[in-house]
Protein backbone atom coordinates (compact mmCIF):
# COMPACT_ATOMS: atom_id res chain seq x y z
CA UNK A 1 0.00 0.00 0.00
CA UNK A 2 1.28 3.48 -0.96
CA UNK A 3 2.77 5.54 1.86
CA UNK A 4 0.96 8.73 2.86
CA UNK A 5 3.22 11.67 2.00
CA UNK A 6 0.73 14.48 1.50
CA UNK A 7 -1.40 16.30 4.04
CA UNK A 8 -4.14 18.88 3.84
CA UNK A 9 -4.84 21.28 6.72
CA UNK A 10 -8.19 23.07 6.36
CA UNK A 11 -7.89 26.45 8.07
CA UNK A 12 -10.55 28.50 6.33
CA UNK A 13 -13.46 28.25 8.77
CA UNK A 14 -15.09 31.34 10.24
CA UNK A 15 -14.33 30.32 13.81
CA UNK A 16 -17.61 31.72 15.11
CA UNK A 17 -17.22 29.93 18.47
CA UNK A 18 -14.09 31.89 19.34
CA UNK A 19 -15.15 35.37 18.32
CA UNK A 20 -13.99 38.08 18.59
CA UNK A 21 -10.45 36.61 18.70
CA UNK A 22 -11.09 35.03 15.29
CA UNK A 23 -12.65 38.11 13.70
CA UNK A 24 -9.46 39.02 11.85
CA UNK A 25 -6.99 36.31 12.86
CA UNK A 26 -7.76 32.69 11.87
CA UNK A 27 -8.34 30.59 15.00
CA UNK A 28 -5.57 28.30 13.70
CA UNK A 29 -3.13 31.15 14.50
CA UNK A 30 -4.22 31.43 18.14
CA UNK A 31 -1.21 30.63 20.32
CA UNK A 32 -0.63 27.71 22.64
CA UNK A 33 2.01 29.23 24.94
CA UNK A 34 4.39 30.60 22.28
CA UNK A 35 3.43 28.89 19.00
CA UNK A 36 0.30 29.19 16.88
CA UNK A 37 -1.93 26.10 16.93
CA UNK A 38 -1.25 25.40 13.27
CA UNK A 39 2.48 25.02 13.92
CA UNK A 40 1.82 22.10 16.30
CA UNK A 41 -0.28 20.53 13.54
CA UNK A 42 2.37 21.02 10.84
CA UNK A 43 4.98 19.55 13.22
CA UNK A 44 2.74 16.52 13.87
CA UNK A 45 2.39 15.97 10.11
CA UNK A 46 6.15 16.22 9.58
CA UNK A 47 6.85 13.77 12.44
CA UNK A 48 4.38 11.41 10.75
CA UNK A 49 6.45 11.28 7.55
CA UNK A 50 4.42 13.84 5.57
CA UNK A 51 6.53 15.71 2.98
CA UNK A 52 4.07 18.05 1.25
CA UNK A 53 1.43 20.08 3.06
CA UNK A 54 -1.41 22.13 1.61
CA UNK A 55 -3.04 24.64 3.93
CA UNK A 56 -6.56 25.72 2.92
CA UNK A 57 -6.92 29.36 3.85
CA UNK A 58 -9.37 32.17 3.62
CA UNK A 59 -9.14 35.29 5.77
CA UNK A 60 -5.78 35.82 7.38
CA UNK A 61 -4.03 33.94 4.57
CA UNK A 62 -1.11 36.36 4.82
CA UNK A 63 -0.62 35.69 8.52
CA UNK A 64 -0.39 31.92 8.08
CA UNK A 65 1.85 32.19 5.01
CA UNK A 66 4.15 34.65 6.76
CA UNK A 67 4.47 32.42 9.80
CA UNK A 68 5.96 29.63 7.68
CA UNK A 69 8.13 32.00 5.60
CA UNK A 70 11.46 33.71 6.30
CA UNK A 71 11.33 36.93 8.32
CA UNK A 72 14.57 38.43 7.02
CA UNK A 73 14.68 41.59 9.16
CA UNK A 74 13.86 39.65 12.33
CA UNK A 75 16.45 36.98 11.54
CA UNK A 76 19.15 39.61 10.91
CA UNK A 77 18.31 41.32 14.20
CA UNK A 78 18.42 38.05 16.16
CA UNK A 79 21.75 37.15 14.55
CA UNK A 80 23.27 40.57 15.26
CA UNK A 81 22.18 40.46 18.90
CA UNK A 82 23.46 36.89 19.39
CA UNK A 83 20.01 35.43 20.15
CA UNK A 84 20.95 32.26 18.32
CA UNK A 85 18.42 29.93 19.96
CA UNK A 86 15.58 32.21 18.92
CA UNK A 87 17.13 32.50 15.46
CA UNK A 88 17.30 28.71 15.11
CA UNK A 89 13.66 28.37 16.17
CA UNK A 90 12.48 31.06 13.73
CA UNK A 91 14.44 29.46 10.86
CA UNK A 92 13.34 25.93 11.78
CA UNK A 93 9.69 26.89 11.20
CA UNK A 94 10.51 27.89 7.62
CA UNK A 95 12.27 24.62 6.91
CA UNK A 96 9.68 22.33 8.49
CA UNK A 97 8.08 21.08 5.29
CA UNK A 98 7.16 21.95 1.75
CA UNK A 99 4.04 24.03 2.45
CA UNK A 100 1.71 25.47 -0.16
CA UNK A 101 -1.57 27.35 0.16
CA UNK A 102 -4.88 27.50 -1.62
CA UNK A 103 -7.77 29.77 -0.89
CA UNK A 104 -11.28 28.42 -0.29
CA UNK A 105 -13.21 31.19 -2.00
CA UNK A 106 -16.45 30.63 -0.08
CA UNK A 107 -16.76 29.13 3.38
CA UNK A 108 -18.97 26.24 2.34
CA UNK A 109 -17.87 23.67 4.91
CA UNK A 110 -15.10 21.19 5.66
CA UNK A 111 -16.07 18.93 2.73
CA UNK A 112 -15.80 21.86 0.35
CA UNK A 113 -12.43 22.84 1.88
CA UNK A 114 -11.09 19.32 1.26
CA UNK A 115 -12.36 19.47 -2.33
CA UNK A 116 -10.11 22.52 -2.84
CA UNK A 117 -7.15 20.10 -2.40
CA UNK A 118 -8.08 17.97 -5.43
CA UNK A 119 -5.28 19.05 -7.77
CA UNK A 120 -2.65 19.07 -4.97
CA UNK A 121 -3.57 15.50 -4.03
CA UNK A 122 -3.48 14.04 -7.57
CA UNK A 123 -3.71 10.25 -7.36
CA UNK A 124 -2.10 9.75 -3.93
CA UNK A 125 -3.56 9.01 -0.50
CA UNK A 126 -3.54 12.02 1.82
CA UNK A 127 -4.04 12.90 5.46
CA UNK A 128 -6.43 15.62 6.59
CA UNK A 129 -5.50 17.34 9.85
CA UNK A 130 -8.28 19.67 11.00
CA UNK A 131 -6.66 23.03 11.57
CA UNK A 132 -8.29 23.69 14.92
CA UNK A 133 -7.60 20.28 16.48
CA UNK A 134 -4.20 20.10 18.14
CA UNK A 135 -3.25 16.58 19.26
CA UNK A 136 -0.19 16.15 21.41
CA UNK A 137 1.36 12.76 22.16
CA UNK A 138 4.51 10.64 21.94
CA UNK A 139 3.24 8.82 18.86
CA UNK A 140 1.81 11.45 16.47
CA UNK A 141 -1.91 10.86 15.81
CA UNK A 142 -1.41 11.35 12.07
CA UNK A 143 1.28 8.63 12.05
CA UNK A 144 -1.09 6.22 13.81
CA UNK A 145 -3.67 6.77 11.06
CA UNK A 146 -1.08 6.46 8.26
CA UNK A 147 0.05 3.08 9.68
CA UNK A 148 -3.57 1.90 9.74
CA UNK A 149 -3.99 3.01 6.13
CA UNK A 150 -0.93 1.00 5.12
CA UNK A 151 -2.22 -2.04 7.06
CA UNK A 152 -5.87 -2.00 5.95
CA UNK A 153 -5.79 -0.16 2.59
CA UNK A 154 -8.98 1.79 3.31
CA UNK A 155 -9.69 5.38 4.27
CA UNK A 156 -8.98 5.92 7.98
CA UNK A 157 -10.82 7.93 10.63
CA UNK A 158 -9.31 9.12 13.90
CA UNK A 159 -11.96 8.23 16.48
CA UNK A 160 -12.40 8.71 20.21
CA UNK A 161 -15.05 7.76 22.75
CA UNK A 162 -17.03 10.80 23.88
CA UNK A 163 -19.81 11.26 26.43
CA UNK A 164 -23.50 10.78 25.54
CA UNK A 165 -24.01 14.55 26.05
CA UNK A 166 -21.15 15.44 23.70
CA UNK A 167 -21.69 13.02 20.81
CA UNK A 168 -24.40 15.23 19.24
CA UNK A 169 -21.74 17.86 18.50
CA UNK A 170 -19.60 15.39 16.52
CA UNK A 171 -20.04 12.53 14.02
CA UNK A 172 -20.94 9.15 15.46
CA UNK A 173 -19.59 6.02 13.70
CA UNK A 174 -20.94 2.47 13.38
CA UNK A 175 -18.04 0.16 14.26
CA UNK A 176 -16.88 -3.43 14.70
CA UNK A 177 -13.45 -4.34 16.11
CA UNK A 178 -10.93 -5.65 13.57
CA UNK A 179 -8.86 -7.41 16.24
CA UNK A 180 -5.73 -5.27 15.92
CA UNK A 181 -6.89 -2.32 17.98
CA UNK A 182 -8.66 -0.75 14.98
CA UNK A 183 -12.34 -0.85 13.95
CA UNK A 184 -14.20 -1.51 10.72
CA UNK A 185 -16.46 1.49 10.09
CA UNK A 186 -19.57 0.76 8.02
CA UNK A 187 -21.62 3.92 8.59
CA UNK A 188 -21.58 7.33 10.27
CA UNK A 189 -23.81 10.29 11.01
CA UNK A 190 -22.96 13.97 11.48
CA UNK A 191 -24.35 15.67 14.61
CA UNK A 192 -26.71 12.79 15.57
CA UNK A 193 -29.88 13.28 17.62
CA UNK A 194 -29.92 11.00 20.72
CA UNK A 195 -31.88 8.23 18.91
CA UNK A 196 -29.51 8.35 15.88
CA UNK A 197 -26.24 7.72 17.77
CA UNK A 198 -24.45 4.70 16.23
CA UNK A 199 -21.74 4.34 18.91
CA UNK A 200 -20.06 6.58 21.49
CA UNK A 201 -17.09 6.89 19.10
CA UNK A 202 -16.81 10.22 17.29
CA UNK A 203 -14.59 11.27 14.39
CA UNK A 204 -12.06 13.69 15.82
CA UNK A 205 -9.60 15.84 13.95
CA UNK A 206 -7.67 13.43 11.70
CA UNK A 207 -8.53 11.31 8.67
CA UNK A 208 -6.63 9.63 5.84
CA UNK A 209 -8.38 9.50 2.47
CA UNK A 210 -7.79 8.44 -1.11
CA UNK A 211 -8.72 10.55 -4.15
CA UNK A 212 -11.93 8.44 -4.36
CA UNK A 213 -13.42 11.02 -2.02
CA UNK A 214 -13.37 13.81 -4.65
CA UNK A 215 -16.10 12.60 -7.06
CA UNK A 216 -18.26 11.94 -4.00
CA UNK A 217 -17.60 15.41 -2.58
CA UNK A 218 -18.46 16.93 -5.96
CA UNK A 219 -21.90 15.32 -5.68
CA UNK A 220 -22.44 16.04 -1.97
CA UNK A 221 -25.26 18.47 -1.25
CA UNK A 222 -25.08 20.84 1.72
CA UNK A 223 -25.94 18.98 4.94
CA UNK A 224 -25.95 19.96 8.63
CA UNK A 225 -25.65 23.74 9.03
CA UNK A 226 -26.08 24.25 5.26
CA UNK A 227 -22.41 23.26 4.75
CA UNK A 228 -20.88 20.58 2.51
CA UNK A 229 -19.97 18.08 5.20
CA UNK A 230 -16.93 15.82 4.85
CA UNK A 231 -18.80 13.26 6.98
CA UNK A 232 -21.59 13.01 4.39
CA UNK A 233 -19.05 12.12 1.69
CA UNK A 234 -17.10 9.71 3.93
CA UNK A 235 -20.39 8.02 4.83
CA UNK A 236 -20.70 6.96 1.17
CA UNK A 237 -17.24 5.37 1.37
CA UNK A 238 -18.05 3.67 4.69
CA UNK A 239 -21.31 2.24 3.34
CA UNK A 240 -19.77 0.96 0.09
CA UNK A 241 -16.15 -0.10 0.68
CA UNK A 242 -15.87 0.49 4.43
CA UNK A 243 -13.36 2.58 6.35
CA UNK A 244 -10.99 1.94 9.26
CA UNK A 245 -11.39 3.62 12.65
CA UNK A 246 -8.31 4.26 14.79
CA UNK A 247 -8.80 5.18 18.46
CA UNK A 248 -5.65 7.30 18.47
CA UNK A 249 -3.61 8.05 21.57
CA UNK A 250 -2.63 11.60 22.53
CA UNK A 251 -4.39 14.56 24.09
CA UNK A 252 -6.67 16.55 21.82
CA UNK A 253 -7.23 20.24 22.31
CA UNK A 254 -10.13 21.87 20.48
CA UNK A 255 -8.84 25.30 19.53
CA UNK A 256 -12.26 26.03 18.04
CA UNK A 257 -13.77 26.61 21.47
CA UNK A 258 -12.82 28.89 24.33
CA UNK A 259 -12.39 26.21 27.01
CA UNK A 260 -10.22 24.16 24.64
CA UNK A 261 -7.89 27.12 24.13
CA UNK A 262 -7.51 27.60 27.90
CA UNK A 263 -6.92 23.87 28.50
CA UNK A 264 -4.29 23.72 25.75
CA UNK A 265 -2.40 26.69 27.16
CA UNK A 266 -2.50 25.43 30.75
CA UNK A 267 -1.51 21.85 30.01
CA UNK A 268 1.21 22.65 27.49
CA UNK A 269 2.67 25.32 29.78
CA UNK A 270 2.70 22.85 32.71
CA UNK A 271 4.55 20.28 30.58
CA UNK A 272 7.22 22.72 29.38
CA UNK A 273 10.65 22.32 31.04
CA UNK A 274 11.29 26.08 30.79
CA UNK A 275 7.95 27.18 32.28
CA UNK A 276 6.26 24.24 34.01
CA UNK A 277 7.49 24.63 37.61
CA UNK A 278 7.01 28.36 37.78
CA UNK A 279 3.58 28.16 36.15
CA UNK A 280 2.48 25.34 38.50
CA UNK A 281 3.47 27.41 41.55
CA UNK A 282 1.57 30.39 40.14
CA UNK A 283 -1.55 28.30 39.44
CA UNK A 284 -1.53 26.77 42.96
CA UNK A 285 -1.32 30.20 44.51
CA UNK A 286 -4.00 31.57 42.22
CA UNK A 287 -6.42 28.67 42.77
CA UNK A 288 -6.04 29.02 46.56
CA UNK A 289 -7.47 32.53 46.32
CA UNK A 290 -10.72 31.40 44.60
P1 LIG B 1 -15.10 23.71 12.15
O2 LIG B 1 -16.51 23.44 11.78
O3 LIG B 1 -14.63 23.35 13.51
O4 LIG B 1 -14.72 25.24 11.91
O5 LIG B 1 -14.18 23.06 11.03
P6 LIG B 1 -15.60 26.55 11.82
O7 LIG B 1 -16.59 26.45 10.72
O8 LIG B 1 -14.61 27.67 11.76
O9 LIG B 1 -16.32 26.54 13.24
P10 LIG B 1 -17.35 27.52 13.95
O11 LIG B 1 -17.67 28.70 13.03
O12 LIG B 1 -16.65 28.01 15.20
O13 LIG B 1 -18.52 26.67 14.27
C14 LIG B 1 -13.04 22.23 11.26
C15 LIG B 1 -11.86 22.74 10.47
O16 LIG B 1 -12.21 22.94 9.10
C17 LIG B 1 -11.90 24.25 8.69
C18 LIG B 1 -11.86 25.10 9.95
O19 LIG B 1 -10.97 26.20 9.77
C20 LIG B 1 -11.35 24.10 10.98
O21 LIG B 1 -9.96 24.07 11.05
N22 LIG B 1 -12.97 24.70 7.74
C23 LIG B 1 -14.28 24.67 8.08
C24 LIG B 1 -12.58 25.16 6.49
O25 LIG B 1 -11.37 25.18 6.14
N26 LIG B 1 -13.55 25.60 5.62
C27 LIG B 1 -14.88 25.59 5.94
O28 LIG B 1 -15.70 26.00 5.09
C29 LIG B 1 -15.24 25.12 7.20
What pLDDT is recorded for position 1?
74
- Atom index in ligand 1 nearest the CA of residue 108 equals 28
**Cis amide linkage into residue 20, ω under 30° from 0:** yes
Percent of the chain at pLDDT above 70?
100
For the residues 250-272, what does the mean pLDDT come to? 97
Mean pLDDT of the chain: 96
Band (pLDDT 50/70/90 cuts) for residue 224 is confident
Q: How does pLDDT run across 85-108, given as a tens digit for each residue?
A: 999 999 999 999 999 999 999 999
The alpha carbon of 182 and the centre of ligand 1 are apart by a number of angstroms equal to 27
Query: How far, in Å, from the CA of 67 to the mean position of ligand 1?
Result: 20
Distance 24 CA to ligand 1 centre (A): 15
Is the C-alpha dihedral spanning 18, 23, 29, 35 positive or negative? Answer: negative
Residue nearest atom 4 in ligand 1 by C-alpha distance: 13
- Ligand 1 pocket at CB < 6 A: 10-17, 28, 56, 104, 107-110, 112-113, 130-132, 256
Helix (H, G, I), strand (E, B) or coil at 1: coil
Rg (CA), the chain: 19
Mutate which of 256, 260, 261 for ligand 1? The one with the most ligand atoms within 8 Å of its CB, which is 256
Dist CA 37 CA 286 (whole Å): 26
pLDDT value of residue 59: 76
Question: What is the whole-number distance in angstroms between the Cα of residue 78 and the centre of ligand 1?
Answer: 36
Read off the pTM: 0.96
Please tell me the distance from the alpha carbon of residue 29 to that of residue 11, in angstroms, as a whole number: 9
pLDDT value, residue 130: 98
Which pLDDT score, from 0 to 100, does residue 223 have?
A: 86
In the predicted structure, residue 290 carries a pLDDT above the cut 90: no
* Ligand 1 mean position, distance from CA 141 (Å): 20
Give the C-alpha separation, 21 to 39, whole Å: 18
The predicted-structure confidence for 101-153, as pLDDT tens digits, reads as follows 999 999 999 999 999 999 999 999 999 999 999 999 999 999 999 999 999 99
Task: Name which residue sits closest to atom 18 of ligand 1, judged by CA.
Answer: 13
Closest ligand 1 atom to residue 56 Cα is 25
Residues with Cβ within 8 Å of residue 242, at least 6 apart in sequence: 154, 184, 185, 186
Longest dimension (CA), the chain: 64
Distance 13 CA to ligand 1 centre (A): 3
CA of 227 to the centre of ligand 1 (A): 10
Return the half-sphere exposure (C-beta side, CA atoms, 13 A cut-off) of residue 26: 26
Pocket test for ligand 1, best of 19, 129, 132 (most atoms within 8 A of CB): 132
Residue 61: what pLDDT?
Answer: 80
Amino acid sequence: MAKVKKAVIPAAGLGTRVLPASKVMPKEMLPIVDRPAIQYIVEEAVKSGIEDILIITNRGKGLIEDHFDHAIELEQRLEASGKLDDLDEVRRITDLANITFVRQKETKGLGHAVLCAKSFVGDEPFAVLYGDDVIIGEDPACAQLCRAFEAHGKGVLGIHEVSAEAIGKYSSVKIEPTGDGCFYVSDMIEKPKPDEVMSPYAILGRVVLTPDIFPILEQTAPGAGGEIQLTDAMKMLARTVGMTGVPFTGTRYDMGNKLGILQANCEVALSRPDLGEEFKAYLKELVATF
